[in-house]
Amino acid sequence: MIEANNLVRRYGDFAAVDDVSFTIAAGEVVGLLGHNGAGKTTIMKMLTGFLEPSAGTILVDGVDVFADSTAVQAQMGYLSESSPLYPELSVVDYLAYAADLRGLDPQSCVPEAIAATQLESKALDPIQTLSRGYKQRVGVAQAILHKPRFLILDEPSNGLDPTQTQHMRDLIRNLAQTATIILSTHIMQEVNAVCDRAIILRSGKLAVDERLAELQKTAGVRLRTAPEVDVAALMAPVSAVSGVHQVDDVQWSLTLAVEPEEGTAAIAQALVSAGAPIHALTPQVRDLETIFNEVSEVQHAA
């Protein structure tokens, strides 16, 4: 659905985006992550056709964004971090205005967008009277009026309470049935909850582009045993274990050279054969926050 090739965006000598390439399949929900200044907003602006790259190309459904930006934007929905709403208008009037701008029939599309974002109770209220969370919902409603095939959501859960956040997650999952979605957020839980993949930028470069299932795959196990057990010596002949690190007197981190189930069984067998107690033997799973922090540490070290 989306193909970005060698994207570069310079401001003078500064490269906000530096040779970034990725592809996103139809129906995928991709989390776009990175610290402030990493290049996320610049990439989103280029994807929407708002900002032209200094080099590189972007194809959406085979169409070059800058060769025919109108055609691409017609099938695109966008929620900015701070939606440019008209505070004096009611919710329904604002959405009707947005529908008119897109050449849509407000009577058919506005009620559907209001229902999808659960704005029925606020439909006639002036936008200026709404809470931040409800304003965020209005922004999402305008982004989905035309049932876009490609949707960019910049911090969609910003300002939402836990119940509203859960509804936003459900809405994103429903939208993913018919749309390809890029979700930019600083909240790792949101990426874990709704995304298939994570793209992490670091100083304008692509640092990580991987499916969440692969990123978070178990790479080792944590063992807790008696302090007198020499785990390193016991694991030396076990081919399933590629690395041994002592965490403290009773805990060890073991890196596996095989699948977790096979590796855990081999470790347990070696310990039992040696008569060593097993107080705990659990998989070590890297969460997305850990991976993000690892990328950040590399940036700070540089």
Say what the pLDDT of residue 11 is: 94
For tokens 């957020």, name the residue: 185
Q: Report, as an integer, the average pLDDT of 63-69.
A: 90
- How far is CA 95 from its chain centroid? 27
The single-letter code of the amino acid at 85 is L
**298 has pLDDT over 60:** no
Q: Report, as an integer, the average pLDDT of 235-242.
A: 93
Model confidence pTM above 0.95? no
| CA 273 – CA 235 distance, rounded (Å) | 12
- Lowest mean pLDDT segment, chosen from 85-89, 114-118, 258-262, 282-286: 282-286
**302 has pLDDT over 50:** no
Strand order in the sheet with 220-224: 241-246, 251-256, 220-224, 280-284
**Residue 137, helix vs strand vs coil:** helix
Residues 6+ apart with CB under 8 A from 290: none
How many CB atoms within 10 Å of residue 277?
12
**276 has pLDDT over 90:** yes
- Reported confidence tier of residue 299, pLDDT bands at 50, 70, 90: low
| CA 97 – CA 138 distance, rounded (Å) | 13
List the domains of the chain with CATH numbers.
2-215 (3.40.50.300), 220-284 (3.30.70)
| CA 268 – CA 277 distance, rounded (Å) | 10
Say what the pLDDT of residue 301 is: 46
Give whole-number Cα distances, 222 to 81, 112, 206, 276, 280, in Å: 40, 50, 31, 15, 8
Alpha-helical segments (H) within the chain = 40-47, 69-74, 91-101, 106-116, 132-143, 162-175, 188-194, 212-215, 231-235, 260-273, 288-301
pLDDT digits (tens, 9 = 90+) for 115-157: 988 899 999 999 999 988 889 889 999 999 999 999 999 988 8
225 and 279 Cβ atoms separated by less than 8 Å: yes
| CA 123 – CA 112 distance, rounded (Å) | 12
CB contact burial 152-164 (16+ within 10 A = b; e otherwise): bbbbbbbebeeeb
Q: Which two tokens stand for residue 284?
A: 């070590």
Q: Report, as an integer, the average pLDDT of 101-107.
A: 94
- List beta partners, residue 4: 22, 58
146 and 109 Cβ atoms separated by less than 8 Å: yes
- In the chain, pLDDT over 70 holds for what percent of residues? 97
What rounded mean pLDDT belongs to the chain? 90
**218 has pLDDT over 80:** no
pLDDT digits (tens, 9 = 90+) for 15-55: 999 999 999 998 899 999 988 888 999 999 999 999 999 99
191 and 287 Cβ atoms separated by less than 8 Å: no
